[in-house]
Amino acid sequence: MNEAQKELLRQLPDVDTLLQRSAFQSLQKSRNVVRDAIRTVLEHRRRAILEGRWEMPFSPELFDQAVMSHIQDADRGHLRRVINGTGTVLHTNLGRAVLAPELAQNIADLVSHYNNLEYDLTLRKRGRRDDHVRELLCRLTEAEDALVVNNNAAAVLLVLTSLVSGKEVVISRGELVEIGGSFRIPDVIEQSGCFIREVGTTNKTHLADYERVIGEATGALMKVHTSNYRIVGFTESVDAADLAGLAHSKHLPCIQDLGSGLFIDLETLGLPHEPTVREAISAGCDVVTFSGDKLLGGPQAGIIVGKANYIAAMRRHPLIRALRVDKMTLAGLEGTLRLYRDEEALQKIPTLAALAQSSDLCHKRGAALAAALAAAGLPADIALIEVDDSVGGGACPGVVMPGWGVAIRPMSGSAVELEAGLRKADCPIIARIQHDALVLSVRTVADDEFSDIVRAMKAFFQA
Ligand SMILES: *Cc1c(COP(=O)(O)O)cnc(C)c1O
């Protein structure tokens, strides 16, 4: 430490002196919050001086500002709303499916009051929490019974643990999927106390491959939808109906993990066909599992539908208590399912609406955003450009949805700086960088977020 650094450190007042500053007297904050903020900023300042990053004499005004912005940051909470400008509809890092906004009021109302989560209002006795969505799920999927757990990984774990533990589950080598975030089907199978019996090859598996290994030790046949990759070329897999037929002839359950839960045909949105839950059930699968927050467009949940006797066994399993969902989830799920029942899903579920957005509509909305940004007079080039959007969430791999976006190229400074600045905005904006421009795809941005974007851009360029 040199003399200059020593002098700078000496200039720093102590916490109690700083607490008396008038800027902090008028704050509507407890003394503890202000003291903590002062301590933190002082600590940062000391470190900056010691590391040679701060060489200015102590300025009370600058210090006040630093403390204020620290308090503001702390006020915003750690989990925050962001604007998704990436064009990836089910963005795993940005909370996956966006719930229909009209459900929010009901969820807020339910969770800030008592509710009948486990109370039967007709019979005046204890009820079951998944009764709130059971009928809807059965009606929408044509399954006999339904159960909801924390996520689809939990659903697969519960199904295998309760139905196949100690036995073999037969599965194609082409379907030993890794989902990401350390979810691998073989690991889950092991965790549930089952033994994997792999059949076939990576690219081809025939019905006879399954048939050959079925024996005393077999507990179930399983099909996993290869949702996040595609094997192309010389390939063959056994379809659900044939696998279910084989399973039933041997008195075994046929389990299918669908990954994404679809209640509508993706082809109606101009996307390639993916199996729907109803198709899996009508193919004869005894148990079908899927996520609540992928293509279904609801809250994070794992949904299990299928034959009543199997679901009943899962309900009795001790794991169910560890995997059960909260009232917030059930409120969001019930609301989402009702939109499907009322045939309003395509319009009102943001995930489906985003997927259904035509290139023409994206073009129109992109032009509106570009015009709003141009009108703000930013020192940047603004251009309407074509972009490749994607479904995300490990669904529809390789599928590109043609969309439109706005490319913003600052006249001075770089797109990298702009990107970093927007990430620090009051409502952080997450965007891509392409060819030295910041690119905002409009598919994943709501109309009412356009003005937030304009405001954040203005703030960035004025700072
Ligand atoms: C996504 C996925 C899972 C995991 O679902 P979560 O809801 O994320 O736990 C399991 N299986 C398949 C095939 C998937 O695509």
CB atoms within 10 A of CB 95: 15
Distance between Cα 102 and ligand 1 center (Å): 26
Within 21-169, residue ranges assigned H as helices are 22-25, 31-50, 60-75, 104-111, 131-141, 152-164
**Beta partners for residue 287, in sequence order:** 255, 306
Instruction: Write down the pLDDT at residue 235.
Output: 83
pTM of the model: 0.90
Residue 455 per-residue DSSP state: H
Mutate to test the pocket of ligand 1, among 148, 157, 226, 294 (most ligand atoms within 8 A of CB): 294
Residues 6+ away with beta carbon under 8 Å from 447:
365
Q: What is the pLDDT of residues 184-227, one digit of tens each?
A: 888 888 899 999 999 998 888 999 999 999 999 999 999 999 87
Cβ–Cβ < 8 Å for 296, 290 = yes
Cβ–Cβ < 8 Å for 157, 319 = yes
Instruction: Write down the pLDDT at residue 192.
Output: 94
For ligand 1, whether the C-beta of 259 sits within 6 Å is yes
Instruction: Write down the pLDDT at residue 377.
Output: 94
For ligand 1, whether the C-beta of 302 sits within 6 Å is yes
**Beta partners for residue 204, in sequence order:** 236
Among 434, 435, 359, smallest CA distance to 404 is for 359
What the block records as the tokens of 12 is 């720093």
**Beta partners for residue 220, in sequence order:** 169
Element (H, E) at 183: strand 183-184
Mutate to test the pocket of ligand 1, among 171, 183, 296 (most ligand atoms within 8 A of CB): 183
For ligand 1, whether the C-beta of 394 sits within 6 Å is yes
Distance between Cα 304 and ligand 1 center (Å): 12
Among 254, 302, 341, smallest CA distance to 150 is for 302
Residues 6+ away with beta carbon under 8 Å from 425:
456, 459, 460
For ligand 1, whether the C-beta of 177 sits within 6 Å is yes
Instruction: Write down the pLDDT at residue 370.
Output: 98
Instruction: Write down the pLDDT at residue 25.
Output: 81
Q: Tokens 């899996």: give the residue.
A: 280
Round to whole Å and give the CA distance between 261 and 278: 10
Q: What is the pLDDT of residues 78-96, one digit of tens each?
A: 899 999 999 999 999 999 9
For ligand 1, whether the C-beta of 325 sits within 6 Å is no
Distance between Cα 62 and ligand 1 center (Å): 49
Element (H, E) at 462: helix 450-462
Q: Please provide residue 270's backbone torsions phi and psi, each rounded to the nearest 5 degrees.
A: 80, 15
Q: For atom 14 of ligand 1, which residue has the closest CA?
A: 259
Element (H, E) at 368: helix 359-375
Round to whole Å and give the CA distance between 217 and 223: 18
Cβ–Cβ < 8 Å for 134, 146 = yes
Distance between Cα 317 and ligand 1 center (Å): 21
Listed as ranges, residues in the chain with pLDDT below 70 are 181
